[in-house]
Amino acid sequence: MSVSIKSAREIELMREAGRILANVHEELGKALKPGMSTMDIDRLGEKLIRGYGCIPSFKNYNGYPASICVSVNDEVVHGIPNKHRILHEGDIVSLDAGVIYHGYHSDAARTHAIGKISPEAEKLIQVTRECFFEGIKYAKAGNHLNDISSAIQAYAESFGYGVVRDLVGHGIGEHLHEDPEVPNFAQKKKGIKLVPGMTLAVEPMINAGRADVAWMDDDWTVVTDDGTLSAHYENTILITEGEPEILSL
Protein backbone atom coordinates (compact mmCIF):
# COMPACT_ATOMS: atom_id res chain seq x y z
CA MET A 1 0.00 0.00 0.00
CA SER A 2 1.32 3.44 -0.83
CA VAL A 3 -0.31 6.67 0.18
CA SER A 4 0.70 9.61 -1.99
CA ILE A 5 1.71 12.95 -0.54
CA LYS A 6 0.66 15.76 -2.85
CA SER A 7 3.03 18.51 -3.92
CA ALA A 8 2.10 22.19 -3.69
CA ARG A 9 1.22 22.18 -7.39
CA GLU A 10 -0.99 19.10 -7.04
CA ILE A 11 -2.74 20.61 -4.04
CA GLU A 12 -3.45 23.77 -6.04
CA LEU A 13 -5.11 21.68 -8.78
CA MET A 14 -7.11 19.71 -6.23
CA ARG A 15 -8.27 22.96 -4.61
CA GLU A 16 -9.59 24.11 -7.96
CA ALA A 17 -11.22 20.72 -8.64
CA GLY A 18 -12.86 20.92 -5.20
CA ARG A 19 -14.01 24.49 -5.66
CA ILE A 20 -15.67 23.56 -8.94
CA LEU A 21 -17.28 20.47 -7.44
CA ALA A 22 -18.67 22.52 -4.55
CA ASN A 23 -20.30 24.83 -7.10
CA VAL A 24 -21.72 21.88 -9.05
CA HIS A 25 -23.32 20.53 -5.87
CA GLU A 26 -24.73 23.90 -4.94
CA GLU A 27 -26.28 24.36 -8.38
CA LEU A 28 -27.66 20.81 -8.41
CA GLY A 29 -29.16 21.31 -4.96
CA LYS A 30 -30.95 24.48 -6.11
CA ALA A 31 -32.31 22.77 -9.23
CA LEU A 32 -33.96 19.86 -7.38
CA LYS A 33 -37.74 19.82 -7.39
CA PRO A 34 -40.65 17.37 -7.38
CA GLY A 35 -41.42 16.03 -10.87
CA MET A 36 -37.78 15.92 -11.95
CA SER A 37 -36.35 12.60 -13.05
CA THR A 38 -33.07 11.28 -11.71
CA MET A 39 -31.87 11.40 -15.34
CA ASP A 40 -32.62 15.17 -15.43
CA ILE A 41 -30.21 15.56 -12.49
CA ASP A 42 -27.50 13.62 -14.29
CA ARG A 43 -27.92 15.65 -17.50
CA LEU A 44 -27.67 18.93 -15.61
CA GLY A 45 -24.73 17.69 -13.54
CA GLU A 46 -22.75 16.58 -16.55
CA LYS A 47 -23.46 19.88 -18.32
CA LEU A 48 -22.29 21.86 -15.27
CA ILE A 49 -19.12 19.77 -14.85
CA ARG A 50 -18.17 20.08 -18.51
CA GLY A 51 -19.08 23.78 -18.43
CA TYR A 52 -16.35 24.26 -15.82
CA GLY A 53 -13.86 22.54 -18.15
CA CYS A 54 -13.80 19.36 -16.07
CA ILE A 55 -14.42 15.70 -16.86
CA PRO A 56 -17.09 13.78 -14.90
CA SER A 57 -14.95 11.09 -13.28
CA PHE A 58 -17.74 8.59 -12.63
CA LYS A 59 -18.79 8.33 -16.28
CA ASN A 60 -17.71 4.89 -17.53
CA TYR A 61 -15.78 4.24 -14.30
CA ASN A 62 -15.85 0.42 -14.09
CA GLY A 63 -18.77 0.67 -16.51
CA TYR A 64 -20.88 3.08 -14.43
CA PRO A 65 -23.12 4.68 -17.08
CA ALA A 66 -23.64 8.24 -15.73
CA SER A 67 -21.91 11.32 -14.32
CA ILE A 68 -23.87 11.68 -11.09
CA CYS A 69 -24.87 8.88 -8.73
CA VAL A 70 -28.48 9.60 -7.74
CA SER A 71 -29.75 7.50 -4.81
CA VAL A 72 -33.32 7.96 -3.56
CA ASN A 73 -34.69 7.11 -0.07
CA ASP A 74 -33.54 3.56 0.82
CA GLU A 75 -30.87 3.66 -1.89
CA VAL A 76 -27.52 4.17 -0.16
CA VAL A 77 -25.17 5.00 -3.06
CA HIS A 78 -24.50 4.39 -6.78
CA GLY A 79 -28.12 4.80 -7.94
CA ILE A 80 -28.22 4.90 -11.74
CA PRO A 81 -30.06 7.90 -13.23
CA ASN A 82 -33.25 6.89 -15.05
CA LYS A 83 -35.74 9.04 -16.95
CA HIS A 84 -38.64 7.07 -15.45
CA ARG A 85 -37.52 7.59 -11.84
CA ILE A 86 -39.35 10.73 -10.75
CA LEU A 87 -38.65 12.63 -7.53
CA HIS A 88 -41.65 13.29 -5.30
CA GLU A 89 -42.24 15.62 -2.41
CA GLY A 90 -41.05 13.88 0.78
CA ASP A 91 -38.22 11.96 -0.91
CA ILE A 92 -34.60 12.31 0.10
CA VAL A 93 -32.00 12.12 -2.64
CA SER A 94 -28.25 11.58 -2.34
CA LEU A 95 -26.14 13.08 -5.11
CA ASP A 96 -22.57 11.89 -5.49
CA ALA A 97 -20.32 13.55 -8.07
CA GLY A 98 -16.69 13.53 -9.09
CA VAL A 99 -14.71 15.85 -11.32
CA ILE A 100 -11.27 15.74 -12.90
CA TYR A 101 -9.50 19.09 -13.31
CA HIS A 102 -6.15 19.04 -15.12
CA GLY A 103 -5.68 15.40 -14.15
CA TYR A 104 -6.72 15.76 -10.49
CA HIS A 105 -9.86 14.42 -8.85
CA SER A 106 -12.34 15.73 -6.35
CA ASP A 107 -15.24 13.64 -5.00
CA ALA A 108 -18.19 14.85 -2.91
CA ALA A 109 -21.73 13.85 -1.97
CA ARG A 110 -24.76 15.56 -0.42
CA THR A 111 -28.20 14.32 0.60
CA HIS A 112 -31.09 16.70 -0.14
CA ALA A 113 -34.76 16.91 0.81
CA ILE A 114 -37.39 17.11 -1.92
CA GLY A 115 -39.90 19.61 -0.56
CA LYS A 116 -41.17 18.83 2.91
CA ILE A 117 -39.80 15.63 4.42
CA SER A 118 -40.43 13.78 7.69
CA PRO A 119 -38.62 14.92 10.85
CA GLU A 120 -36.93 11.48 10.91
CA ALA A 121 -35.52 11.99 7.41
CA GLU A 122 -34.45 15.54 8.30
CA LYS A 123 -32.59 14.21 11.35
CA LEU A 124 -30.83 11.47 9.38
CA ILE A 125 -29.55 13.96 6.78
CA GLN A 126 -28.33 16.32 9.48
CA VAL A 127 -26.59 13.65 11.57
CA THR A 128 -24.90 12.14 8.49
CA ARG A 129 -23.44 15.57 7.69
CA GLU A 130 -22.37 15.94 11.32
CA CYS A 131 -20.69 12.51 11.14
CA PHE A 132 -18.32 13.91 8.53
CA PHE A 133 -17.44 16.89 10.74
CA GLU A 134 -17.02 14.67 13.82
CA GLY A 135 -14.65 12.47 11.83
CA ILE A 136 -12.51 15.24 10.45
CA LYS A 137 -11.96 16.73 13.92
CA TYR A 138 -9.34 13.96 14.06
CA ALA A 139 -8.00 14.49 10.53
CA LYS A 140 -4.77 16.05 11.76
CA ALA A 141 -1.12 15.31 11.17
CA GLY A 142 0.14 12.86 13.79
CA ASN A 143 -3.27 11.25 14.37
CA HIS A 144 -4.11 7.90 12.83
CA LEU A 145 -6.72 6.98 10.27
CA ASN A 146 -8.74 4.98 12.79
CA ASP A 147 -9.28 8.11 14.88
CA ILE A 148 -11.46 9.43 12.04
CA SER A 149 -13.24 6.10 11.49
CA SER A 150 -14.02 5.55 15.18
CA ALA A 151 -15.35 9.06 15.68
CA ILE A 152 -17.78 8.72 12.76
CA GLN A 153 -19.10 5.38 14.00
CA ALA A 154 -19.50 6.51 17.61
CA TYR A 155 -21.41 9.62 16.59
CA ALA A 156 -23.76 7.81 14.19
CA GLU A 157 -24.48 4.98 16.61
CA SER A 158 -25.24 7.43 19.43
CA PHE A 159 -28.42 8.16 17.41
CA GLY A 160 -29.17 4.47 16.88
CA TYR A 161 -28.22 4.60 13.21
CA GLY A 162 -26.50 1.89 11.20
CA VAL A 163 -23.06 2.64 9.73
CA VAL A 164 -22.62 0.99 6.33
CA ARG A 165 -19.69 -1.46 6.41
CA ASP A 166 -19.61 -2.61 2.80
CA LEU A 167 -18.41 0.69 1.33
CA VAL A 168 -15.69 3.04 2.54
CA GLY A 169 -14.00 6.36 1.82
CA HIS A 170 -10.62 6.51 0.13
CA GLY A 171 -7.49 8.39 -0.78
CA ILE A 172 -7.90 10.56 -3.88
CA GLY A 173 -5.68 12.55 -6.25
CA GLU A 174 -4.48 11.50 -9.68
CA HIS A 175 -6.97 8.66 -9.29
CA LEU A 176 -10.52 8.63 -7.96
CA HIS A 177 -9.65 5.81 -5.59
CA GLU A 178 -6.22 5.72 -3.99
CA ASP A 179 -4.88 4.23 -0.78
CA PRO A 180 -5.77 4.30 2.03
CA GLU A 181 -9.30 3.03 2.51
CA VAL A 182 -11.17 5.32 4.92
CA PRO A 183 -13.81 3.25 6.79
CA ASN A 184 -16.63 4.93 8.68
CA PHE A 185 -16.34 2.39 11.49
CA ALA A 186 -13.63 1.44 13.97
CA GLN A 187 -10.84 -0.91 12.91
CA LYS A 188 -8.75 -3.22 15.07
CA LYS A 189 -5.58 -1.48 13.89
CA LYS A 190 -4.98 2.22 14.29
CA GLY A 191 -4.18 2.59 10.61
CA ILE A 192 -1.69 4.86 8.88
CA LYS A 193 -0.36 7.98 10.52
CA LEU A 194 -1.77 11.12 8.90
CA VAL A 195 0.78 13.35 7.19
CA PRO A 196 0.37 16.83 5.64
CA GLY A 197 -0.25 16.56 1.90
CA MET A 198 -2.48 13.48 2.11
CA THR A 199 -5.84 13.93 0.41
CA LEU A 200 -8.80 11.82 1.48
CA ALA A 201 -12.45 11.40 0.50
CA VAL A 202 -14.29 11.01 3.81
CA GLU A 203 -17.81 9.78 3.16
CA PRO A 204 -20.13 8.54 5.90
CA MET A 205 -23.04 6.43 4.54
CA ILE A 206 -25.57 6.16 7.35
CA ASN A 207 -28.79 4.14 7.54
CA ALA A 208 -31.78 5.03 9.68
CA GLY A 209 -32.06 1.31 10.53
CA ARG A 210 -29.60 -1.53 10.37
CA ALA A 211 -26.18 -1.28 8.73
CA ASP A 212 -26.73 -4.12 6.25
CA VAL A 213 -27.00 -3.33 2.56
CA ALA A 214 -27.86 -5.25 -0.61
CA TRP A 215 -27.12 -4.80 -4.30
CA MET A 216 -29.91 -4.39 -6.85
CA ASP A 217 -30.04 -6.39 -10.08
CA ASP A 218 -28.38 -3.53 -12.00
CA ASP A 219 -25.20 -4.50 -10.04
CA TRP A 220 -24.71 -0.86 -8.99
CA THR A 221 -27.51 0.45 -6.82
CA VAL A 222 -26.84 -0.25 -3.14
CA VAL A 223 -29.96 -0.30 -0.93
CA THR A 224 -30.58 -0.77 2.77
CA ASP A 225 -31.44 -4.38 3.51
CA ASP A 226 -34.25 -3.42 5.89
CA GLY A 227 -35.74 -0.78 3.56
CA THR A 228 -35.02 2.17 5.87
CA LEU A 229 -33.73 5.52 4.60
CA SER A 230 -30.04 6.17 4.01
CA ALA A 231 -28.00 9.37 3.71
CA HIS A 232 -24.52 10.15 2.37
CA TYR A 233 -22.22 13.10 2.94
CA GLU A 234 -18.74 13.33 1.44
CA ASN A 235 -15.95 15.82 0.90
CA THR A 236 -12.40 15.68 -0.37
CA ILE A 237 -10.08 16.93 2.37
CA LEU A 238 -6.40 17.83 2.68
CA ILE A 239 -4.35 16.93 5.76
CA THR A 240 -2.29 19.94 6.87
CA GLU A 241 -0.10 20.80 9.86
CA GLY A 242 -3.23 22.20 11.53
CA GLU A 243 -6.94 21.90 10.76
CA PRO A 244 -7.82 19.86 7.66
CA GLU A 245 -8.73 21.85 4.58
CA ILE A 246 -12.09 20.84 3.10
CA LEU A 247 -11.42 21.15 -0.61
CA SER A 248 -14.93 20.44 -1.94
CA LEU A 249 -16.94 22.80 0.28
Asked if 39 and 206 count as a contact pair (C-beta separation under 8 A), the reply is: no
Q: Which residues pair with 101 in a beta bridge?
A: 104
* Strand pairing class (104-113; 169-171): unpaired
Residues 81-110 that bind Co ion (CB under 5 A): 107
To Co ion, the closest distance from the beta carbon of 139 in angstroms equals 15
Rounded to a whole number of angstroms, the distance between the first and last alpha carbons of the chain is 28
Binding partner at 110 among ligand MF3, Co ion, none, C-beta below 5 to 8 Å by kind: none
Asked if 28 and 108 count as a contact pair (C-beta separation under 8 A), the reply is: no
Asked whether position 61 contacts ligand MF3 by CB under 6 A, the answer is yes
Q: Which residues pair with 170 in a beta bridge?
A: 181, 201
d(CA 43, CA 50): 11
> Which one among 68, 201, 231, 237 touches Co ion, defined by CB under 5 A?
201
> Which one among 23, 27, 37, 64 touches ligand MF3, defined by CB under 6 A?
64
Binding partner at 69 among Co ion, ligand MF3, none, C-beta below 5 to 8 Å by kind: ligand MF3
Q: Which stretch binds ligand MF3 (CB under 6 A): 10-18, 29-37, 62-70, 130-138?
A: 62-70
Question: What's the Rg (C-alpha) of the chain?
Answer: 17
Q: Which stretch binds ligand MF3 (CB under 6 A): 57-65, 119-127, 153-161, 178-186?
A: 57-65
Q: Would you tell me which residues interact with Co ion (CB under 5 A)?
A: 107, 201
